[in-house]
Amino acid sequence: MTAAFSRFGNDLHTGRREFPIVRRRRLWYLLSAAVLVLLATIALVRGPNLGIEFTGGSEFQISGLASADQSTARDVVREHVPDNEPKITAVGSDGLRVQTEQLSSEETGALAEDLASAYSVPAANVSSSFIGPTWGGDVTFTALRAVVVFLVLVGGVMALYFRNVKASVAAMLALLHDMLLTAAVYVAVGFEITPATVIGFLTILGYSIYDTVVVFDKVRENTEDLASSPLTFEGNVERAVNQTLVRSINTSVVALLPVGSILVIGAFLLGAGTLKDISLSLFVGILAGTYSSIFLAPGFLTDLRRGERAIQEHDAEVAGRAPVEAPAAGPAQSDEADAADDAPEPAVLSASGARAHDAAPTDRDDGAAAVRHQPRRTTRRRRR
Amino acid sequence: MPAAPDSPRHRPVKDPVAAMPARRFALAALAVILLILGGGVGAGIARGGWQATPKLALDLEGGTQVILTASSLDGRPIDAATMEQARQIMSDRVNAIGVAETEISIQGGKNIVVDVPGRLDEKTSEALRRTAAMSFRPVLAVGDGTAGASDAGGASDAVPPSTTASVSPADGAAGGASDAGGASDAGGASDAGGASDAGGATDGGVPAWSPEQLTPAAQTIFTESTCADPRALAEQAETAAPTDLVVLCDEAGTTKYLLGPQSLEGAGVADAKVAPATNSQGQATGGYVVNMTFTSDAASKFGALTTALYNGEGATGQFAMVLDGTVISAPQVQAPTSSSASIEGDFTQESAQLLADQLRFGALPLKFTVQSEQQISATLGSDQLEKGLLAGLIGLLLVVLYAIAQYRVLAAVTTASLAVMGALAYGVITVMSNMPEIGYRLSLAGVAGLIVAIGFTADSFIVYFERVRDEIRDGRGIVSAVDHGWQRASRTIIASDTVNIIAAVVLYVLSTGGVRGFAFTLGLTTLLDLLVVFLFTHPILQVLARTRFFGKGHPLSGLDPNALGRDLPAYAGRGRVRDSASRRRRDAEEEPFESLAERKARRAREEAEARSASATTTDEEGTK
C-alpha cells in the first residue's frame, strides 16, 4: 500500500498524474460557500450550545462513586431547584459533574451535602464551584482580540515572507474559511462550547497557516522563473498543489493522530472536560485547514494574481505556443523545467554541488570523477 | 535529465572532512544543551530540593482557582501599575491569613487569578473581594511598633528615619525650615483628654487632629498594640467607622501610629507624580519628591488639615496616608497647603515611584468581581493527568507507526527527534517550574498542548523528508538531495514555526487561565521544534545520508530512488547492486560506458512514456 502511495506521490511530482484542483477551483468555491451557508443556517436556527462558563451557574463534582447513576443526582437537584433541569455528565472513571443554574451559597452547601448523602460518599468528595456569566464571554473576548492581533501580525509576516501581499491575502482568506467552518460545524452539530473549545479553535490559526505555507512555498518555487516555464501561472500552481498533495495528506494525518487520540481518550474515558473540548475543535479545524490549503488557498492565489501584467503576458505566450509545442510538452520536459527552476543548469550545478558537499577532497584528486562527469554533460547537450 | 552528482562507488563511505564542522557543531551544541538541562535539573534535585517532575496546576493537582476581574470605579482604563498594586494588596491580605502556597497573578490585563491549594475558606474569599480604601488621617501619636508595650503618646523620638517625610506646597516655595528629624513637638499629645474611648466616635466639636482626641483609653489601646501582626490591626481598622480612631502600622511593621478620624478620602487625590527634588533656589538636589494634587472639594479639607497641623493645633505635626490599613506615608507638615502638596523625604526613585503608584491606586481603587470560582478535587486531577498522559502515549505511538509505514527506517530519525524533543521539553518545563521566579505549573490544557505538539513537530520532519524525496525525484543524489531539500524545507519550517510562535505569544499575552497554559506549551514546543530540526534532525540525516544504507537508497531506507521513480544507473540502481564487485575493480573503465548504455535505454523508455502522457495532458489542455 505504501509503495502504491509513494508511486502516487511520484506521479504527482512529475505531473504524470494531476488532479484538476486549481482548474476546478470555482467548483470548490461553490462547494465551500454552499457548505458554509448550509451550516450557518442550521447554526442560526439551533443557536450555540454554550457551556456553563458562558451561561453562568453552579457546578458540583462528585468523585469516588460506586455507581455513576445520573438519575440520583437529577432527583436531588430537582428537590432543591424544581424548575431547573441540571446538566449531568460523567467525569473521569468514577465521577459525575452536575451543573445547575446559579445558586446562593446556602443552597450550594445544602445541595452538596444532599448529593454526598444520596451517593453515600464523604462530603469531601463533592466539590462545588460557581462561574459568573461573564467569565466565558471574557475569555472569548480576549481570545477574539488575540485573534485580531494575530491576523494582523501574521498577515504582515506572510506578506514579507512571500514578498507578495496577494499570497498573504489568499492565506488569510483560507484561514478565515477554516475559522468560519469550524465555528459553524460546532454550532450546527451542537457541540458544547467552553473556554477549552476556544483554546482548540485558536490553535487552528497556526495550523491552517502552516499547511498553506507548505503549498505556497512550492508555488513560489515553481514560479520563480515563470518566464521560462512551459506552463501558465495557473498550471504552475496546479502542479505545486499536486506536488504537495502527499505532504499535505501526511502532515494532516500525523497532526490528527495525537489529536484524535486525545479526543477518544477524552470523550470515552474522561467524559466532558478540557481534553475533549480542545481536541474536538482542533480535529474539526485541522480537517478544515487541510481542505482549505489544498482546495481553496491556491485557487484564491491564482485568482488574485491572475490580473498581474507579467502573469498575463506569460500566460498569453504559453497559450500562443502551446499548440506548436504540444507534442513535446510531456512530463519529461516539464520535469526538466521543474529542475530548471531549481537550478538553471542542473548537471553542472549538481556536479559542483557534489564536489562541495559530498566528496570534496577525493573528487578533486580523483581523475575518474572528471571522466565520469564528462559524458553526462555531453548527454545533456545532445538532448537539448 | 539532471545528472546525478554523486557516484558512491568512487567515494569513500567516510565523511568528507570539509563538511564536518557544521554537523558536528550542531550535534555538539545539542548535546551541551541537553547536558546543561539535565545537569541543572540533577543539581537542583540534589542541592536545591527541586522536584524531578514539573509542578502541576490546580486542575491536575486539585485545589481552588478564583478569577477576579477588576473594574475601575469611574470606567477609566486600568493600567499595569494599578493592577500590580491591587495584586500586592491582595497578596498581603492572603499571606496575613496564612494560606500556604497561594499564588496570585495578573493575567490578560485586568484579571487576577488566585490559585489556592485545597478549598477556599470564607475569610480568604472575603479578603480577595474587598476593595482597598485610602484615607488621610491626622497622626495623634507615634510609637515603636516592634516593642510590646512602649510608651504612648509622645513616643515621637522612636520614629525611625525611614518613615520621616515632610509635606509642603508642591511648588517648593515653602519648606525652608525643613527638619525631617521627627515629630518632636508631638509630645503634648499625652496631656490630652476628652474623647471617651479609642474606638468611639469623637464629639462633633473636636477637630480630628486635636490632642483632645487622645483619651486615656485610646492611649491604653495604642500602648498595648504592636506591629507583630499588622494585618490584624488593619482588619480592625477596616471595620471601624471613618470617625473612629485607629492604630495602624507602616509597611515595614516597625512603627505604629495612633490616627485620628479621617480627614479626607483617598478619592480626593487627583494625581500623584514623582519629580526631582529641588532646594529653595530651585536647583535639583538629586533626590526625589512625590507631588500630589487634590480635587477642589478635597483641597479645602486638606488645606484645613495642613493648616491646623502647621499651626501646632494637632497632637503631632504629622498626618498619615493609609492604604488598605497600612500607613504608606506619614509626613510632617512644613507649610500649609491645599490643592497640591509635595512629599519630601529620603526617597530613592523607586520608593518615590512606589508611593506615587500607591497614592494613585488609593485615589481610584479597583473594584473586583469574582468571575469564577472552581474547585477540582485531587482525585479528579490525578485521573485527568493519568488519562492525558495515556492519550499522549497512544498519540505518539500512532505517529511513530505512521512514520514507519511512510518512511521506513527513516522513521527512526523521526522517533529519535521526538525523543530529543521530549527530553528538551521535560528539562525546560521542569526547570521553569522549579525556578521560583517563574514558577510554571503544568495544567491540563498545557498537557493537551504538549500532545498536540507531537503532531506539529512530526509535521516539520515530514515537510523535510518529502522535500528530500522531491529532490531525489528530480534526479539528485541522496547526499545532495538532503542538502538541497534542507535549504528549501528549512525556509518552510521557519516560516510555519514563526506563525505558530506569533500565535502562542499573542495568546499568552492577551488571554487568561487555560488559554495561557496551552499557549505556553505551544510556544515552547514550537521553539524546541526549531531547535531539534536544526540541531538534530538535519545533522543526523546528513550523517545518515553518508552511510551505505541511506546513501545508496536501500529499499527500506525511505529514500530509495527506485521507489521514488528514479532508477538512474549513474547514482543508484545498477551501481548499488554491483557495488561490492566494482569496488574490487578499482579502475572501473567500463562503468561510464555501461552508464551510457543504460542511459540510452532509459531515455528511449522515458520518451515513450512522455509521448503517451503528453497525449493526455494536451487533451486536458485542449478541453480547457
pLDDT at B39 over 50: yes
The domain locations on chain A are 2-49+136-309, 57-130
pLDDT tier, A272 (very low <50, low <70, confident <90, very high otherwise)? low
Query: Nearest CA of chain B to the CA of A36: how many Å?
Result: 25
| B94/B119 same-domain check | yes
Q: Which residue has the higher pLDDT, A183 or B336?
A: A183
List, for residues B252-276, the tens digit of each pLDDT value: 878 888 888 888 888 888 888 888 8
pLDDT at A168 over 90: yes
With H, G, I as helix, E, B as strand and everything else as coil, classify residue B426.
helix
| B389/B332 same-domain check | no
- Residues B547-558, mean pLDDT to the nearest whole number: 79
In a domain? residue B566: no
What mean pLDDT value characterizes chain B?
A: 75
- Taking the C-alpha atoms of residue B203 and residue B210, their distance in angstroms, rounded to an integer, is 11
Q: What is the pLDDT of residue A177?
A: 94
- CB within 8 Å: A203 and B7: no
Q: What is the pLDDT of residue A314?
A: 87
pLDDT tier, A372 (very low <50, low <70, confident <90, very high otherwise)? very low
List, for residues B527-547, the tens digit of each pLDDT value: 999 999 999 999 999 888 888
pLDDT at A44 over 80: yes
pLDDT tier, B6 (very low <50, low <70, confident <90, very high otherwise)? very low
Query: Nearest CA of chain B to the CA of A214: how many Å?
Result: 6
Q: Which residue has the higher pLDDT, B466 or A102?
A: B466
Q: Which of A54-58, A159-163, B377-381, B510-514 has the highest mean pLDDT?
A: A159-163
- Please answer whether residues B518 and A139 qualify as being in contact, where contact means their C-beta atoms are separated by less than 8 angstroms: no
- Taking the C-alpha atoms of residue B590 and residue B382, their distance in angstroms, rounded to an integer, is 70
Q: What is the pLDDT of residue B158?
A: 37
List, for residues A306-357, the tens digit of each pLDDT value: 888 888 888 888 887 654 444 443 444 444 444 444 434 333 333 333 333 4
With CA atoms as reference, the chain A residue closest to B589 would be A368
Q: What is the pLDDT of residue B100?
A: 63
List, for residues B461-483, the tens digit of each pLDDT value: 888 998 898 888 888 888 888 99
- Residues A47-74, mean pLDDT to the nearest whole number: 81
Query: Nearest CA of chain B to the CA of A245: how many Å?
Result: 11
Q: What is the pLDDT of residue A337?
A: 41
A122–chain B Cβ distance below 8 A for any pair: no
pLDDT at B151 over 80: no
- Residues B420-428, mean pLDDT to the nearest whole number: 92
Counting one residue from chain A and one from chain B, the pairs whose CB atoms sit within 8 A come to 377
pLDDT tier, A199 (very low <50, low <70, confident <90, very high otherwise)? confident
- CB within 8 Å: A250 and B394: no
Q: What is the pLDDT of residue A135?
A: 67
- Please answer whether residues B538 and B490 qualify as being in contact, where contact means their C-beta atoms are separated by less than 8 angstroms: yes
Instruction: Choose the final residue of a domain: B322, B345, B368.
Output: B345
Q: Which residue has the higher pLDDT, A383 or B351?
A: B351
- CB within 8 Å: A6 and B613: no
Q: What is the pLDDT of residue B570?
A: 38
A199–chain B Cβ distance below 8 A for any pair: yes
Q: For residue B90, give the CATH number of its domain.
A: 3.30.70.3400
| B241/B340 same-domain check | yes
| B398/B453 same-domain check | yes
Which ranges constitute the DSSP H helices of A47-89?
A: 52-55, 70-80
- CB within 8 Å: B388 and A262: yes
| B189/B293 same-domain check | yes
With CA atoms as reference, the chain B residue closest to A96 would be B380
Q: How many domains does chain B have?
A: 4
Pairing of the two strands B111-116 and B103-107: antiparallel
| B162/B125 same-domain check | no
| B154/B112 same-domain check | no
In a domain? residue B9: no
List, for residues A226-265, the tens digit of each pLDDT value: 888 888 899 999 999 998 998 888 889 999 999 999 898 8
Cell of A224: 520563480
| B139/B233 same-domain check | yes
pLDDT at A85 over 70: yes
List, for residues A185-198, the tens digit of each pLDDT value: 989 988 888 878 88
Q: What is the pLDDT of residue A382?
A: 42
With H, G, I as helix, E, B as strand and everything else as coil, classify residue A130.
strand
| B304/B231 same-domain check | yes
- Please answer whether residues A60 and A113 qualify as being in contact, where contact means their C-beta atoms are separated by less than 8 angstroms: no
- Taking the C-alpha atoms of residue B262 and residue A260, their distance in angstroms, rounded to an integer, is 64
Of B3, B483, B614, the CB nearest to A347: B3
- Residues A31-38, mean pLDDT to the nearest whole number: 95
Helix axes A367-383, A346-353, angle to 10 degrees: 160
Contacts of A307 (CB under 8 A, 6+ apart): none
- Taking the C-alpha atoms of residue A20 and residue B171, their distance in angstroms, rounded to an integer, is 80
Cell of B204: 462633633
Q: In angstroms, what CA-CA distances link A54 with A57, A58, A103, A131, B129?
A: 9, 12, 16, 8, 22
- Residues B369-391, mean pLDDT to the nearest whole number: 81
Query: Nearest CA of chain A to the CA of B402: how many Å?
Result: 7
| B108/B228 same-domain check | no
Q: What is the pLDDT of residue B328?
A: 86
pLDDT at B561 over 50: yes
Share of chain B above pLDDT 90, in %: 9
Query: Nearest CA of chain B to the CA of A189: how many Å?
Result: 23
| B514/B418 same-domain check | yes
In a domain? residue B445: yes
| B214/B262 same-domain check | yes
- Residues B205-217, mean pLDDT to the nearest whole number: 76
Number of helices and strands in chain B (H, E): 18, 15
In a domain? residue B559: no
**Which fold would CATH assign to domain A2-49+136-309?**
Multidrug efflux transporter AcrB transmembrane fold (1.20.1640)
Q: What is the CA radius of gyration of chain B?
A: 38
List, for residues B106-118, the tens digit of each pLDDT value: 876 778 888 887 7
Query: Nearest CA of chain B to the CA of A8: how many Å?
Result: 10
- Taking the C-alpha atoms of residue B8 and residue B2, their distance in angstroms, rounded to an integer, is 17
- Residues B557-578, mean pLDDT to the nearest whole number: 56
Look up cell 554537523; give the residue.
Answer: B23
- Please answer whether residues A272 and A90 qualify as being in contact, where contact means their C-beta atoms are separated by less than 8 angstroms: yes
> ipTM > 0.90?
no
- Taking the C-alpha atoms of residue B105 and residue B88, their distance in angstroms, rounded to an integer, is 10
- CB within 8 Å: A350 and B492: no
With CA atoms as reference, the chain B residue closest to A153 would be B502
Q: DSSP code of A127?
A: E
- Residues B10-34, mean pLDDT to the nearest whole number: 69
pLDDT at B25 over 90: no
pLDDT tier, A78 (very low <50, low <70, confident <90, very high otherwise)? confident
Helix axes A233-243, A195-222, angle to 10 degrees: 120
Question: In DSSP terms, which residues pair with A89 in a beta bridge?
Answer: A97
Which CATH number is A57-130 given? 3.30.70.600
Element (H, E) at B211: none
A7–chain B Cβ distance below 8 A for any pair: yes
CA-closest candidate to residue B141, choices B204, B210, B232, B228: B210
pLDDT at B549 over 50: yes
- CB within 8 Å: B379 and A157: no
List, for residues B43-53, the tens digit of each pLDDT value: 888 887 788 88
* Structural domain containing residue B468: 19-55+377-551
pLDDT at A38 over 90: yes
- Please answer whether residues B171 and B123 qualify as being in contact, where contact means their C-beta atoms are separated by less than 8 angstroms: no
Contact residues, chain B, for A297 at CB < 8 Å: none
With CA atoms as reference, the chain B residue closest to A381 would be B1
